[in-house]
Structure 1
Amino acid sequence: MNSNLPVQATVVTICPMTPDTSMVTLRTEVSHPVAASFLPGQFLELSIPGVGEIPISYCGLPSSDGSIELCIRHVGHVTTALKSVVTGAAVAVRGPFGRGFPLSRYAGQDLLLIAGGLGMAPLRSLLLALLKQRKAWGRLLVLYGAREIRALLFANELMELQSCGEIELQLTVDHREKCLDGPPGCRVALLPALLEHLVVDPERTCAAICGPPVVYPYLLTGLRQLGLSDKRIYLSLERRMKCGIGRCGHCAVGTLLCCVDGPVFSGAELAGVEGALV
Structure 2
Amino acid sequence: MNDVPVPYQVTGVRRETADTVSLTLTPAGDEALEPFAPGQFAMVYAFGVGEIPVSVSRIGRRKLVHTIRSVGAVSAALCALRPGSQVGLRGPFGTGWGLERAAGQDIVVVTGGIGIAPLRPLVLAALAARRAYGRLNLLVGSRTADDLLYADRMRAWADSHGPPLCRVTVDRPSPAWWGHVGLVTTLLNSARFVPQNTTAYVCGPEAMIRATARDLLHRGLRGDRIRVSLERNMRCATGHCGHCQLGGVLMCRDGPVIGWDRAESLLAVREL
Q: Distance in 2 between matches of 1:83 and 1:122?
A: 17
1:240 shift after superposition: 2.7
Q: Distance in 2 between matches of 1:254 and 1:146?
A: 30
Q: 1:174 aligns with which of 168, 171, 175?
A: 171
Q: Distance in 2 between matches of 1:277 and 1:15?
A: 37
**2:32 paired with 1:32:** yes
Deviation per residue, 1:163-220 (Å, 9 max, x gap) = 2622101110001124xx223xx11101122224545311111100000012122111
Alignment-mate amino acid for residue 11 of structure 1 = V
Q: Distance in 1 between matches of 2:151 and 2:267?
A: 35
Partner-residue secondary structure (3-state), 2:233 = coil
Q: Distance in 2 between matches of 1:242 and 1:206?
A: 28
**2:3 paired with 1:4:** yes
Map 1:54-203 onto structure 2 (within 5 A). Answer: 54-61=52-59, 63-65=60-62, 67-162=63-158, 163=160, 165-178=162-175, 181-183=176-178, 186-196=179-189, 198-203=191-196
- Count matched residues: 269
Contact 2:42 2:53 in 1 (8 A): yes
Contact 2:137 2:192 in 1 (8 A): no
State the match for 2:51 in structure 1: 53
1:275 shift after superposition: 4.1
Unaligned runs of 5+ in 2: none
Unaligned runs of 5+ in 1: none
Contact 2:116 2:149 in 1 (8 A): yes
Deviation per residue, 1:247-271 (Å, 9 max, x gap) = 1111111111111100000011224
Q: Distance in 1 between matches of 2:255 and 2:168?
A: 27
1:272 shift after superposition: 2.3
Distance 1:274 1:117, change over 3 A: closer
Contact 1:208 1:235 in 2 (8 A): yes
* Range moving further from structure 2, 243-252 or 161-170: 161-170
Alignment-mate amino acid for residue 170 of structure 1 = R
Q: Compute the RMSD of aligned alpha carbons.
A: 1.8
Distance 1:60 1:210, change over 3 A: same
Deviation per residue, 1:106-162 (Å, 9 max, x gap) = 111110000001000011111111112111001000000000011111232133345
Q: Distance in 2 between matches of 1:250 and 1:30?
A: 34
Distance 1:199 1:86, change over 3 A: closer
TM-score by length of 2: 0.93
Contact 1:254 1:275 in 2 (8 A): no
Q: Distance in 1 between matches of 2:102 and 2:184?
A: 23
Distance 1:137 1:277, change over 3 A: farther
- As a proportion of its length, which structure holds more helix? 2
Report runs of 4+ in structure 1 exceeding 6 Å deviation. none
